[in-house]
């Protein structure tokens, strides 16, 4: 039944048609239309990705528990996924979780040729990875990126990949929802939801529109059994394009807005005089950030970026990160009962005042590298971009800090009753005494360390 509904479109023009142009089939001939022309166009650019990793395990875990580390054995673990050729010279896009930890990555083309792949960039924050294979100058079939912002709920899509290792498979469905925030391991929770069948092994495969353009990278599913139940998620192509461009251009440069807050609830919207719950209520604005320079202040409600509705912090981050530094974006916001507009110039997060260095003073922190948290450092360490204070960025093996359990990512909050706000203050405090009482924040927990 889905096929009969799907074929009501002219395959060459449906992706760019407006909602008003989309009509039901008018004749038996239209009902007999097929996806085959699109499939034959796109499938040569969808590949299989195999990542092999060597896992070392004790021969008998029980012996290790009582007698320490003993004889070890190695086993090869292999993950299977899919990928998409996005450049004819052998640039392939896949999911990071497909190749993560892989020591030997192989790519198999639909014609059964296999290539050793090198990782150009692995980005856990978007759950995307860019691979390169040496084609010896041969130009491979490649998919062009489509504009995922033009998708509408109800649009027809095809999902292509290698589910369960059975071989290349094509499934059809519709866009079930947009801007989903529960679709996988990405920091940017802004997914396309589709009912096109996606199963294990489809990860990294292509979600394409009916004009044969790549509009998403299939990433994850919701399932109680491990198989498809019609809820699949894909990373939008506009995000994927940014990762590919960054991989080939010296690294990803993530733009920064400099404001954060919470989604507006029904109670908040009523209190602020909004007609319905929408937007992000700004709770903090970083000084001299793009948001601050655009005039936004605490208490404003960001309603739209460049005409796209903002529903929560995830959509705000997505709308910012899919721009390039230097882009000027229109911001619609609510303040004091009135709708206002301004322009913000997107920028890279600043890094002034990091003051990173290793603690040499004999203390529980000796051997720990620490730094003042800047927005750029917070982005590197996947922290709250509005965070402030002193963070541990690395710990030398065998150092005092390592023996006392200090870890990278720990925030040093207090030392001997004094709140720590910068690296210079921490260094002075560590060297001024021979006993140390410290408060260390690790995630949501506060740990106490008392050394006399």
Q: Which residues are catalytic?
A: 97, 127, 203
Strands 156-161 and 206-208: antiparallel
- 3-state SS assignment for residue 291: helix
DSSP string spanning 33-71? --SHHHHHHHGGGEEEEEEEEEEEEES-HHHHHHH-S--
| Gyration radius from the chain CA atoms | 26
Q: How far apart (Å, rounded) are the C-alpha atoms in residues 435 and 292?
A: 42
Which of 311, 385, 383, 302 minimizes the C-alpha distance to 348?
A: 385
Nearest Cα to Cα of residue 324 among 346, 294, 350, 291: 346
E strands of 336-444, at which residues?
338-345, 357-358, 368-372, 390-395, 411-415, 418-419, 436-442
Which helix (H) or strand (E) is 233 found in, with range?
Answer: strand 232-236
């Amino acid at each position: 039944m889905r096929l009969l509904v799907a074929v009501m479109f002219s395959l060459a023009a449906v992706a760019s048609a407006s909602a008003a142009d989309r009509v039901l089939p008018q004749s038996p001939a239209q009902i007999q239309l097929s996806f085959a022309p699109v499939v034959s166009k796109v499938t040569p650019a969808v590949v299989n990705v195999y990542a092999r990793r060597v896992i070392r395990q004790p021969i008998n875990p029980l012996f290790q528990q009582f007698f320490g580390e003993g004889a070890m054995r190695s086993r090869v673990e292999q993950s299977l996924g899919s990928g998409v050729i996005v450049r004819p010279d052998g640039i392939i896009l896949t999911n990071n979780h497909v190749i993560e930890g892989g020591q030997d990555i192989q790519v198999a083309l639909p014609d059964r040729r296999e290539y050793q792949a090198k990782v150009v960039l692995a980005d856990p924050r978007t759950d995307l990875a860019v691979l390169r294979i040496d084609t010896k100058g041969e130009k491979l079939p490649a998919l062009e990126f489509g504009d995922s912002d033009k998708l509408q709920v109800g649009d027809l899509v095809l999902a292509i990949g290698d589910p369960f290792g059975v071989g290349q498979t094509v499934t059809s469905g519709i866009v079930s929802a947009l801007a989903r925030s529960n679709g996988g391991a990405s920091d940017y929770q802004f997914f396309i939801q589709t009912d096109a069948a996606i199963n294990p092994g489809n990860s990294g495969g292509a979600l394409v529109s009916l004009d044969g353009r790549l509009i998403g990278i299939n990433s994850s599913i919701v399932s109680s059994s491990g198989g498809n139940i019609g809820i699949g998620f894909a990373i939008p192509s506009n995000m994927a394009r940014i990762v590919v461009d960054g991989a080939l251009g010296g690294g990803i440069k993530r733009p920064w807005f400099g404001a954060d807050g919470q989604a507006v609830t029904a109670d908040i919207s009523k209190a602020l005089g909004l007609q319905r719950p929408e937007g992000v209520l700004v709770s903090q604005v970083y000084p001299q950030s793009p948001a601050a320079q655009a005039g936004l202040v605490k208490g404003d409600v960001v309603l739209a970026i460049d005409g796209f509705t903002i529903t929560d912090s995830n959509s705000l981050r997505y709308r910012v990160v899919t721009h390039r530094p230097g882009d000027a974006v229109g911001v619609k916001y609510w303040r004091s009962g009135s709708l206002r507009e301004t322009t913000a110039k997107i920028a890279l997060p600043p890094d002034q005042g990091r003051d990173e260095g290793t603690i040499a003073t004999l203390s529980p922190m000796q051997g720990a590298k620490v730094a003042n948290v800047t927005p750029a450092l917070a982005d590197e360490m996947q922290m709250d971009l509005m965070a402030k204070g002193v963070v541990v960025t690395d710990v030398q093996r065998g150092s005092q800090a390592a023996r006392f359990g200090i870890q990278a990512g720990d925030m040093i909050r207090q030392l001997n009753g004094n709140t720590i706000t910068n690296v210079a203050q921490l260094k002075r405090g560590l060297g001024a005494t021979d006993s140390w009482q410290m408060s260390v924040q690790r995630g949501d927990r506060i740990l106490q360390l008392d050394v006399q």
